[in-house]
């Protein structure tokens, strides 16, 4: 059985809420939903952290 990450579970819930329509998830207007900022399957609080960040140095991360 494959493990589901919390972000993937949130994305699945958003798709369920919007009748399985990704366009409806993108256009969601329910701003007071606690999952709203996570609806794309990403954590907005981690923006700029990790490999996607140009200043990220993989060698430094491995040695840390």
Give the per-residue SS3 of 24-38: HHHCCCCCCCCCHHH
Read off the pLDDT band of 40 (50, 70, 90): confident
Query: Does residue 19 surpass a pLDDT of 90?
Result: yes
Distinct helix (H) and strand (E) counts, the chain: 3, 0
CA geometry: angle at 12 spanning 6 and 14, to 5°?
A: 105
Residue 8 or 47, more confident:
8
Decide if pLDDT at 34 tops 90.
yes
CA distance from start to end of the chain: 32
Cα–Cα distance for residue pair 34/17, rounded to 1 Å: 13
At residue 28, what are phi and psi to the nearest 5 degrees? -55, 135
The pTM for the full model equals 0.64
């Amino acid at each position: 059985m494959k493990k589901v990450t919390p972000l993937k579970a949130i994305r699945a819930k958003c798709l369920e809420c919007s009748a399985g329509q990704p366009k409806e998830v993108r256009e969601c207007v329910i701003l007071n939903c606690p999952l709203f900022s996570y609806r794309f399957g990403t954590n907005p609080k981690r923006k700029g952290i990790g490999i996607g960040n140009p200043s990220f140095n993989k060698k430094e991360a491995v040695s840390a």
